Amino acid sequence: MASASPLAGIRVLDLSRVLAGPLATQRLADLGAHVIKVERPGAGDETRHWGPPWQPATGESAYFTSVNRGKRSVALDFSSSQGKEILFALAASADVVIHNLLHSSAAKLGLTKAAFEAASPGIVICSISGFGPHRQPDSRPGYDLIAQAESGLMSITGSPNGDPSKVGVAIVDVLTGLEAATAILATLVGRKKTDEAVEIEVSLLDSAMAGMVNVGQGVLATGADGPRYGNAHPSIVPYELFDTREGQIVLAASNDLQWQRLCSVLGDDSLSADVRFVTNPGRVENRDELVPRLHAALALKDAGEWIEVISGVGVPCGRILSVNEGIAAARDAGDPVSINLSDGTEVIAAPARINGEVVTALEPPPLLGQHTDEVLSEIGISGDQIESLRASGVLG
C-alpha cells in the first residue's frame, strides 16, 4: 500500500461477512491494519458467490472483490470447541474484533465481551446488526433492503408519482460500515486512556436513520412527513434534473447569489425580477410556478451549451453519466479513481488522500482459506495439528 499507514501494527480479527463489516475492515486495511478474515470452511463469505459479474483473473465475484482487499483469510469453524479455542487464540493478539452475528448467536457461541476481554484485555469489540439489541425479535436478520424500507429511506426515494424505491447501491450497508470504522478508530485513540475492553454496537436501521440527516431532522422539527421529491430537493430550488433541447442536466443553485447568476444567462429577465423567486424560501414555496419556467428556458439550448455557460457564471451543474462514463471522466481529469492491486486486479481506490497519497491496500482479496496454515503457524499450531484439524472439518 502507499507509504502513509497510520494503522500499522493494529491487528483486526474480522468475523463479519457480506458488506457492512467487510467494508469497515477494508477501510482499516487500507489504512495499514493487519486484518485476518475468518470464514466458514467450504462456503466462506457468501458474497464470494454473488455474481455475475466475476473478476476475469481470479474468478471471484466483483462484489467480494470490492470490500475484501488487503486481508488474510482463515477457513475456521468456530462453532466447535476446538475452533473456538483457535478463535480466541487469534483474538489474543488482536486489537479489534468485528462480527455481524445475531446477538443470540454470538451469545450462544460464547463470543461475549468478557470472553474476548479475557483473551485480549483492552480489545475493541464491534458488532453490526440489522436492528440493534433493543428491537425484537433478536433473531431477525438484517438486510439493506429491509433497513431502507423500515427506516423511511425508501419512502423519500423515487418518483413523486411512482412507488417508493431503494437507492441503487446498498447504501445503508455502506453507511453502517463507515459508521463502524469511525467508531473503531475513535475507540482505538481513546484506548490509550484505559486498558478495559470496549464494546461498539452499530445497526443498519440506526445508520439509515442517521443518514437521512436534514430529512430526518425535518420530521422531528415538524412532526410530519414531507412528500417524495424524486430528483428535486425539499429545501432548495432549483436543485434537480432538467431536460434541455438535447440531453439532460442537473442544476443546483443553492443560494440567492447563484440564483441571480443563473438568471443572468437564462435569457428570461422576468425570472430575476419576480419577487416570489428572489430568496430561496420564496423559490421553495413557489416551486410549482418556477420549475416549469426553468424547463422552458433550458429547452432552448443543448446540454453541452448550458453546462458551459452556467458553469461559466459559477453555478453548479453537470451531465448525468453512467458509472463507466464517470470513471472515464475521473481518469481524464487525472483523478486516481482506480488502482491496480498486486495481482493486476483493478479496483476503485479508497477516497481518502493522506499527504496527497492514495491510501489503498494493494494485496488482492484472499482466496478462501488462503492463509489458514500461515496464520495458525504464527500462533504456535504445528503442521501436524493443522492437518488433523483440517481432517476433522474444523479447518478448511
The model's pLDDT over 9-65, given as tens digits with 9 standing for 90+, comes to: 999 999 999 999 999 999 999 999 999 999 999 999 999 999 999 999 889 999 999
Is residue 195 assigned to a domain? yes
Provide the residue type at 27 as one letter.
R
Q: State the DSSP code for 72.
A: E
Q: How confident is the model at residue 290 (pLDDT cuts 50, 70, 90)?
A: very high
Question: Could you tell me the maximum CA-CA distance found in the chain, to the nearest angstrom?
Answer: 85
Q: In this structure, is the dihedral angle defined by the CA atoms of residues 19, 25, 29 and 30, taken in order, positive or negative? A: positive
Cell readout for 280 is 430561496
pTM of the model: 0.94
pLDDT tens track for 169-186: 999 999 999 999 999 999
3-state secondary structure of 212: coil
Q: Are residues 269 and 380 in the same domain?
A: no
Q: What is the mean pLDDT of the chain?
A: 94
Q: Are residues 54 and 184 in the same domain?
A: yes
Domain that holds residue 363: 11-212+339-391
Is residue 92 assigned to a domain? yes
Q: Are residues 314 and 343 in the same domain?
A: no
Q: Are residues 260 and 370 in the same domain?
A: no
Is residue 328 assigned to a domain? no
> CA-CA distance, 238 to 255, in Å (whole number)?
10
* 248-252, strands of its sheet edge to edge: 239-243, 248-252, 317-319
Q: How confident is the model at residue 2 (pLDDT cuts 50, 70, 90)?
A: very low
Is residue 218 assigned to a domain? no
Is residue 114 assigned to a domain? yes
Q: Are residues 247 and 161 in the same domain?
A: no
Is residue 327 assigned to a domain? no
150 and 205 Cβ atoms separated by less than 8 Å: yes
Is residue 297 assigned to a domain? yes
Q: Are residues 152 and 280 in the same domain?
A: no
Q: Are residues 90 and 206 in the same domain?
A: yes
Which listed residue (173, 225, 256, 274) is catalytic? 173
Proportion of the chain above pLDDT 70, given as a percent: 98
Q: What are phi and psi of 67, to 5 degrees?
A: -135, 20
Reply yes or no on whether the pLDDT at 3 is more than 70: no
30 and 17 Cβ atoms separated by less than 8 Å: no
Q: Are residues 315 and 343 in the same domain?
A: no
* pLDDT at residue 356, rounded to an integer: 87
Is residue 194 assigned to a domain? yes
* pLDDT at residue 4, rounded to an integer: 62
Cell readout for 240 is 434537480
Structurally, how many domains does the chain consist of?
A: 2
Provide CB contacts within 8 A for 95, sequence distance 6+: 10, 11, 12, 120, 122, 123, 124, 188
Provide the residue type at 53 as one letter.
P
% helix / strand / coil in the chain, to the nearest 5? 45, 15, 45
Reply yes or no on whether the pLDDT at 138 is more than 80: no
CATH of the domain at 358: 3.40.50.10540
End-to-end CA distance of the chain: 28
Q: Are residues 116 and 65 in the same domain?
A: yes
Q: Are residues 345 and 384 in the same domain?
A: yes
CATH of the domain at 266: 3.30.1540.10
Q: Are residues 375 and 255 in the same domain?
A: no
Q: Which residue has the cell 410549482?
A: 288
Q: Are residues 154 and 252 in the same domain?
A: no
pLDDT tens track for 315-365: 999 999 999 999 999 999 999 899 999 999 999 999 998 998 889 999 999
173 noted as active-site residue: yes
